[in-house]
Amino acid sequence: MNSERLPADVGDMAAPHGGASRRLIAAVVVIVLAVGGLVAVIVATGGDDPQRPGVAAAVDDADIDHDYLIPAGTGARIDDGEVIDILPAELVMTVGETIRIVNDDDRGHTVGVFYVGPGEELRQTFTAPGELSGECSVHSSGQFVLRVVAA
């Protein structure tokens, strides 16, 4: 008769480093759950950055406080070396005000954090104070800063 000893439980058959492997897997699971929870909180709260103004879509033309037109041919004028200052380098707005940028050009333009495609119109009403800044293709400085202040 064969009298080989059988292990008392499956744990006896684990590799010598089985406990370390289980701890690593548990740590990865905890990290994944933590990241997932953080993403859920950001999505649920809208990921609001206290330095960025709140925004809402503007609906009515009567609500427009700051109105800018990028005329047809602007891109070609820039290519020809003409100095273009369609918007100011810095614009201060009050919470509740609306900006409209109409792009009649045949190419898209960047205005701070906004991109206005050819033939498109951007309307934005600001609902909270903050600051947005970035490159601007329709100002000679190449920059645009939008500050929204409390009413």
Q: Mean pLDDT, consecutive 10-residue segments, the chain of 151 residues?
A: 49 54 75 60 44 63 90 97 96 96 97 96 94 96 96 87
pTM, two decimal places: 0.63
CB 104, CB 137: distance < 8 Å: no
Beta-sheet strands, E only, within 6-151: 55-56, 66-70, 90-94, 98-103, 109-111, 114-116, 121-126, 130-135, 143-149
Q: Which two tokens stand for residue 10?
A: 């499956």
CATH of domain 55-149: 2.60.40.420
Q: Are 67 and 98 in contact (CB under 8 A)?
A: no
pLDDT value at position 65? 94
- Domain segments of the chain: what residues? 10-45, 55-149
